[in-house]
Amino acid sequence: MKKIFTFIAMLAVTATVMAQTDFRHISFAEAQKAAQQEKKLIFVDFYTSWCGPCKNMANNVFPLKHVGDFMNAKFVCVKYDAEKEELDLVNRAKITAYPTFVIYNPDGTEVNRKVGGGTPDAFIADMERLSNTELTPEKIRARYDAGERSATLIKAYAALLKEEAYNSRGERQGKMMKISDLIADYFDNLSDKERLSADNLFLYREHCTTTADKKMQYLFTNKGKADKSLRPDIDSLLTKAYTQEAAVRAGFYEKLSQEAYPLFREQAMSLPAFKEEKYQGFIEVCDAYATGDMNKYLDSVEKMSRTKCKDNAFTLLYGLAEGLSGAEKDLKMRAAKLIRSSLNTMPGTNISFLGSTIADLEGERK
């Protein structure tokens, strides 16, 4: 739960909300007419007002430009509160989990569906696969086994394996390893030109878990060789990767090794985004931790949570239990006191999670 919540908090730090996916405020019957006229499929987002993953998709996925560009070109997009709107359609579709995304033909017949959210590029890959009759599971595997290695096929195959991994607990690790091997083999056999093509940006967006990944390092080093038309997209991709990593490192979603940190810091500070105070603050906290002096680390968290990172103080405070896991008791007590002094500035949800951090620091949880 700690990692999941910290990741959501980190997304809130870095996401830029700009209305891009065009959800039309029309009935399903009107969506059918529009789809017929525009020669598109219909995409329906069945959501509820209380659904957390629904809100994540609405706030952090659908507003992104590249998601909107894909969705608007392929679908007439509509969304309905499944407890209040288009209830006949909800019943016919047998919607029981949220969010559920259903793709329809213009005549109203269902093409395919996806239950649950996802990261932006994974979601695009799912929608591309689920709306394309040439990308059924059987055809994906047959085309791959026949030797095809197109970007569209690899993206779809990775998305298929990811879905299968989440639906089969016993084989999950094997499926995830297969995705890793699939992507590594594909990347290793691309030319430099192909690695810097628009079709293959999904490799960096969706298949790099850290900036130290070989693929991300290649992109950072070779970004100047990309076509000028792609450089804004690449700059945006790199900015997102490095700013998110700064947030998760400062908040201890994952620890950055002492060996990897100097290169990460050097590369991050070369990006324009790191002129912003909040990212400078995250780096200052990471710098302090990297010294190995836990007093200095705690001093930095206290200072940055009240100054440069004031609006993102939760991220820093929530990571204190992990950051100070091996520290002396008196230092942990000081950290707990710092968190308590900050609770009156936090929303209710954050307070409940910070309570668990206090309990960890004070030794009340095993």
- Active-site residue list: 51, 54
Rounded to whole angstroms, the Cα distance separating 364 from 360 reads 6
Q: Which residues contact 324 (CB under 8 A, 6 or more apart)?
A: 294, 297, 298, 331, 332, 335, 361
Provide the pairing of β-strand 110-115 with 75-81: unpaired
Q: How many helices (H) and strands (E) does the chain have?
A: 20, 4
- Rounded CA gap, 193 and 25, in Å? 42
Strand pairing of 110-115 and 41-47? unpaired
List, in order, residues 6 or more apart from 241 with CB less than 8 Å away.
Answer: 204, 208, 211, 216
* Amino acid making up residue 324: L
Query: Can you tell me the distance from the alpha carbon of 175 to that of 168, in angstroms, rounded to the nearest whole number?
Result: 9
In the block, tokens 């197109």 appear at 150
Angle among Cα 245, 53, 101 to the nearest 5 degrees reads 120
273: amino acid identity, one letter: A
Q: Measured at the alpha carbon of residue 304, what is the angle toward residues 301 and 306, in degrees to the nearest 5?
A: 105
DSSP secondary structure code for residue 197 in this structure: S
And the tokens for 325? 């896991």
Q: How far is it, in rounded angstroms, from Cα 68 to Cα 59?
A: 13
* Cα 56-57-59 angle, rounded to 5 deg: 65
In which residue are the tokens 């689920």 written? 130
